[in-house]
Amino acid sequence: MTKTAAIIGGGVIGGGWAARFLLNGWDVRVFDPDPEAERKISEVMDNARRSLPGLSDVPLPDEGTLSFHAELADAVAGVDWIQESVPERLDLKLKVYKSLQEACDPGAVIGSSTSGFKPSELQEGALRPEQIVVTHPFNPVYLLPLIEVVPTGANSAEFVQKAKDLLTSVGFFPLHVRKEIDAHIADRFLEAVWREALWLVKDGVATTTEIDEAIRMGFGIRWAQMGLFETYRVAGGEAGMRHFMAQFGPALKWPWTKLMDVPEFTDELVDMIADQSDAQSGMHSIRELERIRDNNLVGMMRALKAQDYGAGAVLNKHDAALKPGALPTLDEADLSQPIRTLARAVPLDWTDYNGHMTESRYLDAFACSTDRFMEIAGCDSDYIASGGSYFTAETHIRHLDETHAGAKIEVRTQMLLGAGKKLHLFHSMFEGDKLLATGESFLLHVSLENRRPCAPSAAIEAALARVTEAQASLPYPEGAGNAIRKPA
Amino acid sequence: MTKTAAIIGGGVIGGGWAARFLLNGWDVRVFDPDPEAERKISEVMDNARRSLPGLSDVPLPDEGTLSFHAELADAVAGVDWIQESVPERLDLKLKVYKSLQEACDPGAVIGSSTSGFKPSELQEGALRPEQIVVTHPFNPVYLLPLIEVVPTGANSAEFVQKAKDLLTSVGFFPLHVRKEIDAHIADRFLEAVWREALWLVKDGVATTTEIDEAIRMGFGIRWAQMGLFETYRVAGGEAGMRHFMAQFGPALKWPWTKLMDVPEFTDELVDMIADQSDAQSGMHSIRELERIRDNNLVGMMRALKAQDYGAGAVLNKHDAALKPGALPTLDEADLSQPIRTLARAVPLDWTDYNGHMTESRYLDAFACSTDRFMEIAGCDSDYIASGGSYFTAETHIRHLDETHAGAKIEVRTQMLLGAGKKLHLFHSMFEGDKLLATGESFLLHVSLENRRPCAPSAAIEAALARVTEAQASLPYPEGAGNAIRKPA
């Protein structure tokens, strides 16, 4: 049965909630007196539609129905979840709760997106305090999993569990905050960093750019996968968490931040943290944690590389500096032989549950070889920007042997045909002398404007003619032209 | 010409420096009186060799030579870079500098990994202060790009540039810290978060696990790609950075952290930050920044998904909850027709510079279909753990039409042969009624122990026999058995 949520306040946060519910199949009713609310929510929905569904490896439910309501009572009547994201003024929030509790089901969850108020403050004087809970999200709400769920003693355990289950059902990670506190948990860290950052800018130590680089080129990448304590547990190594703390304990008295109010570093505190860390991560050895961490970092950094952003842009620059010498240009290559079009180590994120390089990554490597071949023939990024490119029409791959993460592989490419709009390449992948796979590709040159086949530029035709002439005496490769035969 | 680095102190940090230099083709000499140094460095090298080379899309230079030296003078004589990572005691560091400056080239860079001392403290009383600079790394040093380079007025501009160039040449991102300060930049944020986290644990508000979840499920993922200020610029939306600050300025006076020493929130500070933020990110509109952010987040979260860790594990659980209904089991499927083996939206990270789904991702999708077919036939993760699996031997793909991020695609699979060790599948990928591509796969069942072909379990044979019988009347698909023809 389709569930319904009411979104009270439709800015970036309310819009993110609406998107999360809608794309997980809920109907959503919006109440927001802002005449721009409909436009704002539709912009968030555009972003969410392009990013959230593809995060899943299965289809999300059919998108729910979005409606806008002029009356609060109309928006909340009969809904399962009411999410309040109105401006951070307590008097306003209390007024909203009063109105909506007169109209909504007593069984509905009323979640507040507040970052600043404690649930006990929100429940004060309410018609049914037991129905109100803090459910604090993080922007972009349609992508980030964290929701801080902060109840009080007025909320029953069943109610809290129901709220968490509903959040989980739309893909969130509800973090139960057991003891209410100003700004909950995550925003306390953000506030501490924000305050320290303001000092650094004010004192001229660092600009906003420098501060952002200090975050995203180092500990930010770590924190995307392990938090503070698991990271330090790994850093502490075999000596363990107690040792790590003994080493950095004294620093609490030093001026390593402007924010100097510190807890006393007692044995009791050290034990408490070391024990909690054991419970959290003790099922893995330090060596295992290091490898989990490195697998995560490599995967994420390679994802950023594909976007050419942050740490990924640094990696791309380093590659560009290493490239000359690794891969020959048309003038450098011995054109009478297959041309080296790829040379690399198999990355950690190219392997699968069978422990070897997974099949689609063979095509990834062959596609890189095709790109490199096109590049040295003159079909480079400038040419592509000018409106022409080659599209692959057909591929045939033979898997002849296995390879594993870290192995050094190389692809050599023979051109079987390069004339007019047609390009026919035969790639051979080696690890040392061992032939791992062959990849045969048939491509067509297309106009990127009308997506139709057409001849490439004269310069590319001339480059391909050079290769044709030079490789003319190479034998037609074994395995080229093969098909998977119909079973007898 | 091969460059040489001397590593003084070979723990986790020194070992990370050694790995970074060695894997980028430098020779490395290690001086460390610890009898365990060789073992410790070899363990870091094991981790680095499996993770760093594959980060690059081109081969790294041939690995340099690692040697261990009993005499400091022997280790540093004639080297280009000396990296000091001895314990954080100023007297010890000064003593080390005295000894090594007597033996090293005056032109060498002496970098210190110190997180706590300022460069002016390290240069105090040195033979050649101009040669010593803080170069502060982040663990794991072989993967994370950030190095804080902190010089003093004693270091020439040429020297600082040379140090930065050498760091860049081994893949680091050197961040020039223009004004020395205790703990430099990044560790001041870490210290603030650490202090706040100690309070939360001590006061029983949150455990180490809860704190780590609060970080890695939310802002940690954001900070892996944009820092504090760029993230807030995007959150502030069209109203801009000044508006964002006006909104959160008052919170500086509130107890949102235990760390209460805050700068005064003047117009001047607001202007300074807003102007710096414009210089940093003003080339992109807020809408562009949102899309950059979402592309980055989706790529990283999908990378974590492949590792089933952190936010990626949350996504996998959500998929598992959605899967029933999306993909039929053997008993649910209409076996007389091709079976639906994949249904999903095309994720953002599957598209390429041509703006459409890139060719290797077609095989990624077809491989998922093959996995799903195997799974419903009984070759599931339990079966694979017991020692049998199917390996793809040959693949033929025809690209018939284009598709784009967000498109809903579906794959239907016809079994052409499923007998003995052989499995021959024909996948058809659709977007609605439009046939996008076909993927023909020939697989062999293998023993995971000896990697040799062998018959699958009786249960799998029986399941395949059911499919054979049910699909017997389906026509042999158009395009199956095709080859890329030899040019006439």
Average pLDDT over residues B9-37: 95
Strand A408-419 relative to strand A422-431, pairing: antiparallel
ipTM of the complex: 0.94
Residue B368 neighbours by CB under 8 Å, 6+ apart: A57, B341, B342, B411
- The fold adopted by the segment(s) B327-471 is Thiol Ester Dehydrase; Chain A (3.10.129)
**Contact between residue B16 and residue B48 where contact means Cβ atoms under 8 Å apart:** yes
Has residue B43 got a pLDDT over 80?
yes
Predicted local confidence at residue B44, as pLDDT: 95
Q: What is the largest CA-CA distance in chain A?
A: 90
Predicted local confidence at residue A318, as pLDDT: 94
User: What would the two tokens of residue A218 be?
Assistant: 């180092």
Which of A402, A406, A400, A411 lies closest to A373, judged by CA? A411
| Partner-chain residue, chosen from A57, A323, A482, that has the shortest CB–CB distance to B58 | A323
Chain A residue with CA closest to B312: the answer is: A225
Has residue A68 got a pLDDT over 70?
yes
**B294 to A140: CB separation less than 8 angstroms, yes or no:** yes
Q: A417: left (phi > 0), else alpha (psi -120 to 50), else beta?
A: beta
| Partner-chain residue, chosen from A175, A229, A393, that has the shortest CB–CB distance to B208 | A229
Q: Does B254 touch chain A (CB under 8 A)?
A: yes
**A481 to B485: CB separation less than 8 angstroms, yes or no:** yes
Predicted local confidence at residue A260, as pLDDT: 62
In A, which residues are within 8 Å of B195 by CB distance? 192, 252, 257, 259, 261-263
Average pLDDT over residues B189-209: 93
Tell me whether residue B205 is annotated as binding. Answer: no
In B, which residues are within 8 Å of A227 by CB distance? 211-216, 220
| Partner-chain residue, chosen from B181, B194, B315, that has the shortest CB–CB distance to A55 | B315
Q: Which of residues 219-248 of A touch B (CB under 8 A)?
A: 219-230, 234-235, 237, 248
**B321 to A187: CB separation less than 8 angstroms, yes or no:** no
Taking the C-alpha atoms of residue B397 and residue B409, their distance in angstroms, rounded to an integer, is 16
Predicted local confidence at residue B408, as pLDDT: 94
Average pLDDT over residues B78-107: 97
DSSP assignment of A239-292, as one string? GHHHHHHHHHSGGGGSSSSS--------HHHHHHHHHHHHHHHTTS-HHHHHHH
Q: Does B182 touch chain A (CB under 8 A)?
A: yes
Confidence of residue A259 (pLDDT cuts 50, 70, 90): low
In A, which residues are within 8 Å of B21 by CB distance? none
More confident residue, B378 or B322: B378
Predicted local confidence at residue B259, as pLDDT: 67
Average pLDDT over residues B386-410: 95
In A, which residues are within 8 Å of B353 by CB distance? 381, 384
Which of A112, A118, A167 lies closest to A144, judged by CA? A167
Has residue B258 got a pLDDT over 70?
no
Q: Does B105 touch chain A (CB under 8 A)?
A: no
**Contact between residue A456 and residue A445 where contact means Cβ atoms under 8 Å apart:** yes
Average pLDDT over residues B443-458: 95
Has residue B63 got a pLDDT over 90?
yes
Average pLDDT over residues B119-144: 97
Q: Which CATH architecture has domain A186-292?
A: Orthogonal Bundle (1.10)
| Partner-chain residue, chosen from A144, A257, A345, that has the shortest CB–CB distance to B53 | A345
Predicted local confidence at residue A186, as pLDDT: 97
Has residue A251 got a pLDDT over 90?
no
Average pLDDT over residues A458-477: 96
Q: Which of residues 69-98 of B touch A (CB under 8 A)?
A: none
Cα B193 to Cα A185, A256, A378, B145, B203, distances in angstroms: 11, 11, 51, 21, 15
Tell me whether residue B9 is annotated as binding. Answer: yes
Tell me whether residue B14 is annotated as binding. Answer: yes
Average pLDDT over residues A260-284: 85
Confidence of residue B267 (pLDDT cuts 50, 70, 90): confident
Q: Does B270 touch chain A (CB under 8 A)?
A: no
Has residue B254 got a pLDDT over 80?
no
High-pLDDT (> 90) share of chain B, %: 86
Least confident of A67-81, A446-460, B345-359, B428-442: B345-359
Q: Is the entire prediction scored with pTM above 0.80? A: yes
- Helices B37-55 and A286-307 pack at an angle, to 10 degrees, of 30
Taking the C-alpha atoms of residue B246 and residue A414, their distance in angstroms, rounded to an integer, is 62
Q: Does B280 touch chain A (CB under 8 A)?
A: yes
Taking the C-alpha atoms of residue A265 and residue A288, their distance in angstroms, rounded to an integer, is 29
Cα B351 to Cα A58, B347, B407, B429, distances in angstroms: 18, 8, 11, 16
In sequence order, what are the beta bridge partners of B413?
Answer: B339, B427
**Domain residue ranges of chain A, discontinuous segments joined by +:** 4-176, 186-292, 327-470
Has residue A258 got a pLDDT over 70?
no
The alpha helices in B124-266, defined as continuous H runs, are: 157-169, 186-202, 208-214, 220-223, 228-236, 240-248
Q: A83-98 pLDDT, tens per residue?
A: 999 999 999 999 999 9
Q: Which top CATH class is A327-470? A: alpha beta
In A, which residues are within 8 Å of B208 by CB distance? 229-230, 273, 276-277, 280
**A201 to B486: CB separation less than 8 angstroms, yes or no:** no
**A310 to B144: CB separation less than 8 angstroms, yes or no:** no
Which of A239, A230, A234, A245 lies closest to A279, judged by CA? A230
Q: Does B178 touch chain A (CB under 8 A)?
A: yes
| Partner-chain residue, chosen from B224, B276, B384, that has the shortest CB–CB distance to A216 | B224
Predicted local confidence at residue B253, as pLDDT: 72
Gap from B128 CA to chain A (nearest CA, Å): 26
Element (DSSP H or E) covering residue A466: helix A458-470
More confident residue, B10 or A393: A393
Q: Does A291 touch chain B (CB under 8 A)?
A: yes
Average pLDDT over residues A135-146: 97
Taking the C-alpha atoms of residue A427 and residue A413, their distance in angstroms, rounded to an integer, is 4
Taking the C-alpha atoms of residue A216 and residue B300, their distance in angstroms, rounded to an integer, is 13
- In the Cβ-directed half-sphere of B56, how many Cα atoms lie within 13 Å? 32
Q: Which of residues 24-63 of B touch A (CB under 8 A)?
A: 43, 47, 49-51, 53-61
In B, which residues are within 8 Å of A436 by CB distance? none
Average pLDDT, chain B: 94
**B195 to A192: CB separation less than 8 angstroms, yes or no:** yes
Has residue A370 got a pLDDT over 80?
yes
Taking the C-alpha atoms of residue A262 and residue A253, their distance in angstroms, rounded to an integer, is 8
Which of B364, B222, B214 lies closest to A143, judged by CA? B222
CATH number of B4-176: 3.40.50.720
Average pLDDT, chain A: 94
Annotated binding site of A for NAD(+): 9-14
Confidence of residue B353 (pLDDT cuts 50, 70, 90): confident
Side by side, the strands of the sheet bearing A339-345 are A339-345, A408-419, A422-431, A434-447, A388-399, B388-399, B434-447, B422-431, B408-419, B339-345
Q: Which of residues 187-216 of A touch B (CB under 8 A)?
A: 187-216
Confidence of residue B236 (pLDDT cuts 50, 70, 90): confident
More confident residue, B259 or A125: A125
In A, which residues are within 8 Å of B301 by CB distance? 55, 143
